């Protein structure tokens, strides 16, 4: 008898052994990342082999990925993130186009979260292998830190960061209640959701965003 949790665990293990193409390029930070079209052609066949189907749902509150066994639809595993407030991303996109971009990003994020697909931004940085780039990075790290709370900007140590004030603590607790890892990305999404619900002000949201800029990708914020 099929076990949906075992099936997903097998897919996670199989994906760990794959080198999935990364066609996305962040020119500013100089790293490559997985686009949605890189992930779906790999994940969908693995799900199909195990008689699993994926379903994305988007509400005003959250984005959800549900995986079901098509023989026993009652068996469901899901992951979800807060739905950010949709705004026009730039002058060349209307609100509907911007919403499509948000949804594409969230689908990619939900897939990487469900199947434990890692984005090694630092490792994939194209500048790490060159001495000149390493020298520039070292010089940058020795610039005078700007303290936004939690950690001086520019410091490269990763790990647990203690929430510096009650505002950040409330966002971390909100994030924990949603069963999300309190990293920079999840804190920003949670703060956006809290702002939309009137739980924090626009000024508070900006403060949270400034704080998360001081975090590294692997940092976890604790209360």
How many whole angstroms separate alpha carbon 98 and alpha carbon 92?
10
In a domain, 25, yes or no: yes
**Crossing angle, helix 166-177 and helix 202-212, to 10 degrees?**
80
pLDDT digit string (tens) for the chain, length 223 residues: 568 999 999 999 999 999 998 888 877 667 788 899 999 999 999 999 999 999 999 998 899 999 999 998 788 999 999 888 877 766 567 778 888 888 998 999 999 999 999 865 434 444 434 444 444 445 445 444 444 444 444 444 446 788 888 889 888 888 888 878 888 888 888 888 888 888 888 888 888 888 888 887 667 888 7
Domain range for residue 33? 4-114
pLDDT of 129: 41
pLDDT of 148: 43
pLDDT of 111: 94
Domain count, the chain: 2
* Helix segments in 4-94, DSSP class H: 4-16, 36-49
pLDDT digits (tens, 9 = 90+) for 16-25: 999 998 888 8
Domain end call among 98, 114, 130: 114
In a domain, 170, yes or no: yes
pLDDT of 12: 95
In a domain, 48, yes or no: yes
Domain end call among 114, 140, 167: 114
| Residues ≥6 apart with Cβ < 8 Å to 131 | none
pLDDT of 143: 47
pLDDT of 39: 95
User: Are 108 and 45 in the same domain?
Assistant: yes
pLDDT of 132: 42
User: Are 98 and 154 in the same domain?
Assistant: no
In a domain, 121, yes or no: no
User: Are 168 and 74 in the same domain?
Assistant: no
| Rounded (to 5) percent helix, strand, coil in the chain | 40, 20, 40
In a domain, 119, yes or no: no
How many whole angstroms separate alpha carbon 98 and alpha carbon 19?
30
pLDDT of 91: 59
Beta bridge partners of residue 63, listed in sequence order:
58, 81
CA atoms within 13 A on the CB side of 20: 24
């Amino acid at each position: 008898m099929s076990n949906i949790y075992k099936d997903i665990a097998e897919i996670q293990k199989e994906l760990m052994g794959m080198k999935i193409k990364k066609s996305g390029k962040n020119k500013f930070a100089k790293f490559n990342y997985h686009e949605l079209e890189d992930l779906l052609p790999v994940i969908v066949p693995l799900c199909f082999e195990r008689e699993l189907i994926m379903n994305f749902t988007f509400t005003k509150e959250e984005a959800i990925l549900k995986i079901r066994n098509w023989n026993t639809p009652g068996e469901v595993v899901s992951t979800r993130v807060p739905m950010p407030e949709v705004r026009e991303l730039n002058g060349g996109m209307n609100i509907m186009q911007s919403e499509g971009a948000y949804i594409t990003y969230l689908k990619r994020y939900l897939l990487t979260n469900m199947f434990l697909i890692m984005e090694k931004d630092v490792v994939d940085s194209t500048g790490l292998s060159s001495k000149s780039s390493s020298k520039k990075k070292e010089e940058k790290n020795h610039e005078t830190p700007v303290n936004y709370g939690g950690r001086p900007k520019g410091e490269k140590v990763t790990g647990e960061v203690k929430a510096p004030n009650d505002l950040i603590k409330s966002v971390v607790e909100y994030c924990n209640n949603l069963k999300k890892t309190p990293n920079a990305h999840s804190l920003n999404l949670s703060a956006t959701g809290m702002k939309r619900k009137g739980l924090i002000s626009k000024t508070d949201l900006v403060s949270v965003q400034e704080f998360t800029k001081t975090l590294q990708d692997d940092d976890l914020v604790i209360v």
